Amino acid sequence: MKLLNLDPIVKSVEKRVVIVNGVNHEIRSLNVEQFLQIVDESKAIVDRAEKGEFTLAEEVRLTRKVVALAIPTMTEDEINKLDVSQIQAIAEFAKGNDVEGVEEVSSEETQEDPEGK
């Protein structure tokens, strides 16, 4: 018999945390359904952009949605109070890209509460 244990794969993903207003929020990996939803919406925006119908507001709405999916501990109100550069930075960071302000810290230096409390 062969066995594929996915638990170690999930645990091996680098933990990423965003601090907003002094509260730690752990970034969660998107599941397949969420990922496909974002891809579909991104494609729709690209299609509209090619037709000259693209608006910055649509991009910000999609980015806000990515942040809400990646950080379920942040409320919609908290996300809406961020400025555009902040939500763009969070979205890039959630994708695994290091952005300005990223620091390498040990897990002991951050709160261990995954709920951000």
> pLDDT tens for residues 58-110?
888 888 988 998 899 999 999 999 999 999 888 888 877 778 877 888 766 65
Local structure of residue 40 (DSSP, 8 states)? H
Q: What is the pTM of this model?
A: 0.70
**Residue 53 belongs to domain spanning:** 29-98
- Averaged over 46-59, what is the pLDDT? 80
When divided into structural domains, the chain yields a total of: 1
Q: Is residue 2 part of a domain?
A: no
Q: Is residue 11 part of a domain?
A: no
In Å, what is the CA distance from 12 to each residue of 2, 9, 15, 30? 21, 5, 9, 15
Q: Over 50: is that where the pLDDT of 114 sits? A: no
Residue for token digits 């990922």?
A: 35
Reading the block at residue 67, the tokens are 């942040």
Q: Is residue 50 part of a domain?
A: yes
Q: Is residue 7 part of a domain?
A: no
Residue 95, SS3? coil
Q: Is residue 6 part of a domain?
A: no
Please write the tens of the pLDDT for every residue from 11-47: 656 788 999 999 999 988 878 898 888 888 878 777 8
Q: How far apart are CA 91 and CA 84, in angstroms?
A: 11
- Averaged over 1-19, what is the pLDDT? 82
Q: Is residue 106 part of a domain?
A: no
Q: Is residue 92 part of a domain?
A: yes
Interior/surface letters 93-112, b for 16+ CB within 10 angstroms, e for the rest: bbeeeeeeeeeeeeeeeeee
Q: How far apart are CA 47 and CA 108, in angstroms?
A: 45
Q: Report pLDDT for 65.
A: 87
Q: Is residue 93 part of a domain?
A: yes
- Averaged over 49-61, what is the pLDDT? 81
Radius of gyration of the chain (CA): 16
Q: Report pLDDT for 104.
A: 82
Residue type, 78: E
CB 4, CB 47: distance < 8 Å: no
